[in-house]
Amino acid sequence: MTKLSSLSMTRRGILGAFAASTIAAAPTFTNAAGLLRGAGDIRRIRMTSPRTGEKIDTIYWIEGSYIKDAVKEVNLFMRDWRTNGTIAIDTRTIDIMAAAHNLMDVQEPYLLLSGYRSPKTNAMLRSRSRGVAKNSRHMKGQAADLRLGSRSVNQMFRAASACAGGGVGKYSRSNFVHMDCGPVRTWGG
């Protein structure tokens, strides 16, 4: 009886959160998009930046369409704070971030540690740490390093991995999770 009711609660929670939608096939990140599909035909992203002191809470997608001005706001928010450089952030990455956030059932905004990185910033970080990739997806606007105060790195890692939308890296010592829209893969400890 205990097993059944615990399983039932998990299923009920998932169904309630995502309204039991059908996941249609897509060429990439099908799970992330599918998980968001049941979110009431809107997609929302909430973040704060410890580097700039800025906050964003925006609905960037409604009923099958991205909202251009909202996506531009996300692009500006996720800029390289060291150079103030911007790039178009890949909406697949934003979708993965939003889907993982929904799976964790939190209202707290992500703490954005790193979004877009200019080649200059990436080279500087790479010279200081062997954990920075030479051809980082951050330079293409396809990655974000995120933290939540109310969720552990393991919880964030599991939620992002469940989206099966791209790369998910767990950086337990530094207390953040990397999410990107590249090939589906995981790493870290």
Q: What is the mean pLDDT of each run of 10 residues along the chain (189 residues)?
A: 33 33 35 56 95 96 95 98 96 97 96 96 85 87 97 98 96 96 94
Which residue segment(s) compose the domain that 162 sits in? 2-188
CATH of the domain at 9: 3.30.1380.10
Q: How many domains does the chain have?
A: 1
DSSP 96-161: HHHHHHHHHT--SPEEEEE----HHHHHHHHHH-TTS-TT-GGGGT-EEEEE-SSS-HHHHHHHHH
Give the type of residue at 84: N
Q: pLDDT at position 2, please?
A: 33
Q: pLDDT at position 128, please?
A: 87
Q: pLDDT at position 3, please?
A: 33
- Enumerate residues 6+ apart whose C-beta is below 8 A from 139: 116, 117, 118, 119, 122
Please give the radius of gyration of the chain, using alpha carbons only, rounded to the nearest integer.
17
Q: Tell me the residue length of the chain.
A: 189
